[in-house]
Amino acid sequence: MKKKPMLRCTNDTSGVMGLTLSQLGLFLATGILLAAVVSFVFFNSSQRVNELRSCATDFSMLLNDMETRFIENTTRFQFPRQAYSYTIQLSSDYLVATAQDFWGRDFHVTERLLIEPWIRSSSENWTTGDDLHAYLYSTFGHYGTQNDSIALENLSAVLQQRNVSADFYASHPFDVLLREPVFVEKVIIYCENQQNYDILLIYQGR
């Protein structure tokens, strides 16, 4: 009795096995490639997050360091250049760094500022510490220095202006020009009865 053709074909499995091994090799190669691509993408995005978090922390630590100084002082801070585009926005409470990941999606790194600075724009009537002392003299008749102190009620008026500025930048964050340095300046306003008040200014374009 002759075997049916279907049975003879079923007994010959070498062709089927060869096709299965080829597919398996292709699947493995594809899996390895995909794993490498995914690993690169996540590493790239993670690296950007870490770089932005590092510069945000450095800036916050600079504010803390400036606050502890006993004399008026100015320090220049330059945000680093990166191989990708990013932005820095400041309020009196937060620094927010924004960039894009490998897929072009925005991500944000937020740093809480323990020291609340007074942000000054170059378009305002005064910017630097020297400008502030000159403003005090033109407004109250005294520079607010150790040898020419201002009255306590005058200080209250200055602090009220700072509060107004903080409220403004809370809803309209200051856009840092990354190509220019940021100046952090500690200013001491001396008041009557040997009292004084420390103010930390932030500005660009001096």
pLDDT tens figures, 40-52: 444 467 889 999 9
**Within a domain: residue 12?**
no
pTM here is 0.78
Nearest to 197 by CA among 168, 169, 160: 160
Q: Are 89 and 174 in contact (CB under 8 A)?
A: yes
What's residue 162's pLDDT? 96
Distance CA 189, CA 100 (A): 42
Q: What angle do CA 112, 117, 119 make, to 5 degrees?
A: 115
Nearest to 45 by CA among 88, 78, 86: 86
Cβ-based neighbours of 50, under 8 Å, separated by 6 or more: none
Point out which residues pair with 110 in neighbouring strands: 96
**Within a domain: residue 161?**
yes
What's residue 15's pLDDT? 47
Domain membership of residue 53 as a residue range = 37-203
**Within a domain: residue 85?**
yes
Distance CA 152, CA 158 (A): 10
Coil, strand or helix: which one is 18?
helix
Helix (H) / strand (E) element for 120: namely: none
Q: How many CB atoms lie within 10 A of CB 98?
A: 15
> What is the token pair recorded at 201?
């200014």
| Domain count across the chain | 1
What's residue 9's pLDDT? 46
How many residues would you count in the chain?
206
C-alpha pair distances (Å), 200 with each of 1, 87, 156, 188, 191: 103, 22, 16, 9, 17
Residue 146 backbone zone (phi > 0: left; psi -120 to 50: alpha; other: beta): alpha
What is the sign, positive or negative, of the torsion defined by CA atoms of 133, 137, 140, 141? positive
Parts of the chain with a pLDDT under 50: 1, 6-10, 14-16, 35-36, 38-43
